[in-house]
Amino acid sequence: MQEVAWMQEGLFKADAAEATESEHGEAKGASRVVGIPNPEVPEKAVRRKFSAEYKLRILQLADRCSDPGSLGRLLRKEGLYSSNLTTWRRQRDLGMLKGLQPAKRGRKTIEWNPLQFELNTLRKENERLQKRLKRAELIIEVQKKVVKPSG
């Protein structure tokens, strides 16, 4: 019942806005946002990315937390999870300073080998020559059988 009242109230506000616009000389059919969020369309969440400097700073602050509850307070203040700290510590301990940088999402790019074209050409030539060799060996076998005296 409250949802219906909210929707009716929202429609009433939109109708009132159109009426005031038409009184001020604006087009009556012009649409205007009244400030009521559409409950059907959620806002797209933006993935957070943390720089290596930020991660190192948070790890230093977390390592200094010695009072009970101070680490939790830090995590709440920064909006982080304890799993973030665990992952960042593991990366730091492995010496992966570059690993602390946020990973690029999506398909990984394939690095082009400058010798790849030559390699492909040589492979095709190798296959062609192997076929010719098999054909030549087959012809030689047939010739051996024909020349060999029977009997």
92, 56: one domain: yes
Is the model's pLDDT at 16 over the cut of 60? Answer: no
Structural domain that includes position 71: 52-100
**What pLDDT is attached to residue 33?**
55
Give me the count of residues in the chain: 151
Q: Which residue has the higher pLDDT, 17 or 146?
A: 146
| Residue corresponding to tokens 């400097």 | 53
**What pLDDT is attached to residue 83?**
92
36, 56: one domain: no
65, 96: one domain: yes
**What pLDDT is attached to residue 43?**
75
- Residues 21-69 pLDDT 10s: 444 444 444 455 567 767 776 678 788 888 888 888 999 999 998 888 9
**What pLDDT is attached to residue 151?**
53
Return the structure tokens found at 91. 């990366």
* Phi, psi of 45, rounded to the nearest 5 degrees: -75, 140
Q: Is 64 helix (H, G, I), strand (E, B) or coil?
A: helix
* Phi, psi of 29, rounded to the nearest 5 degrees: -85, 0
Let me know if residue 30 belongs to a domain. yes
User: What torsion do the CA atoms of 42, 46, 47, 52 make, to the nearest 10 degrees?
Assistant: -160
Let me know if residue 117 belongs to a domain. no
Within a 10 A sphere around the Cβ of 71, how many other Cβ atoms? 17
**What pLDDT is attached to residue 21?**
46
Let me know if residue 10 belongs to a domain. yes
Least confident interval from 10-24, 38-52, 131-145: 10-24
- Residues 67-124 pLDDT 10s: 889 999 999 999 999 999 998 888 888 776 665 566 677 887 778 788 888 999 999 9
Give mean pLDDT, residues 118-135: 96
**What pLDDT is attached to residue 101?**
63
Angle at 137 between CA 133 and CA 143, to 5 degrees: 145
Return the sign of the alpha-carbon dihedral for residues 117, 122, 128, 134. negative
58, 93: one domain: yes
Q: In the chain, how many domains are there? A: 2
Let me know if residue 105 belongs to a domain. no
82, 58: one domain: yes
Return the structure tokens found at 68. 């009970």
